[in-house]
């Protein structure tokens, strides 16, 4: 049996063609795989903190969860159940990727320090299926007591 690549009917040539086909399929899938992850940039109002950009963030978790998993301080006195306003933050870009604002969340935002039009509660900002870029700004966390 000839295993050189010169004979187009050889096992070697056919195997190589199959591997080439498989790797082309993998390359074709890459944009879809990238499209299921988020990139989140955290900016801070607290003096001396530089912005942090996290990549490869999976959907179906809140901005609060993402922050805590990555050692970014964001208070959460009620434990993330929409019963306080200490996880208050500002969504600068990418609000369409997040779960919609509920009436209950809006009520707690009204009690937050310095609420703005782009205010949200970090524990209620759940990343929807898909992927994209989200930019948030965290208020100065030194103003809060507790967790």
Residues that bind ligand FES (CB under 6 A): 76-78, 80, 82-87, 108, 121-123
Q: How far is the CB of 108 from ligand FES (least distance, A)?
A: 6
Q: Which residue in 131, 125, 144 sits closest to 46, CA to CA?
A: 144
Choose between 57 and 123: whose C-beta lies nearer to ligand FES.
123
Distance CA 5, CA 74 (A): 60
Choose between 32 and 60: whose C-beta lies nearer to ligand FES.
60
Q: Which residue in 71, 138, 14, 43 sits closest to 2, CA to CA?
A: 14
Q: How far is the CB of 127 from ligand FES (least distance, A)?
A: 15
Tell me how many helices (H) and strands (E) the chain has: 3, 5
Distance CA 112, CA 115 (A): 6
Choose between 131 and 144: whose C-beta lies nearer to ligand FES.
144
Q: How far is the CB of 77 from ligand FES (least distance, A)?
A: 6
Distance CA 143, CA 126 (A): 25
Choose between 54 and 126: whose C-beta lies nearer to ligand FES.
126
Q: How far is the CB of 120 from ligand FES (least distance, A)?
A: 10
- The answer to whether the CB of 76 falls within 8 A of the CB of 122 is yes
Choose between 122 and 131: whose C-beta lies nearer to ligand FES.
122
Q: How far is the CB of 16 from ligand FES (least distance, A)?
A: 56
């Amino acid at each position: 049996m000839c295993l050189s690549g010169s004979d187009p009917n050889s096992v070697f040539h056919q195997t190589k063609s199959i591997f080439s086909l498989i790797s082309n399929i993998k390359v074709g899938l890459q944009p879809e795989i990238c499209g299921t992850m988020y990139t989140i940039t955290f900016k801070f109002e607290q003096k001396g903190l530089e912005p942090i950009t996290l990549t490869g963030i999976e959907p179906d978790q809140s901005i609060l969860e993402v922050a805590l998993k990555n050692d970014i301080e964001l208070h959460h006195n009620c434990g993330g159940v929409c019963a306080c306003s200490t996880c208050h933050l500002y969504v600068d870009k990418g609000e369409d990727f997040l779960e919609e604002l509920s009436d209950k969340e809006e009520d707690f935002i009204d009690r937050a320090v310095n609420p703005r039009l782009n205010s949200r509660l970090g524990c209620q900002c759940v990343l929807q299926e898909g992927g994209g870029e989200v930019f948030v700004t965290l208020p100065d966390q030194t103003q809060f007591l507790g967790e």
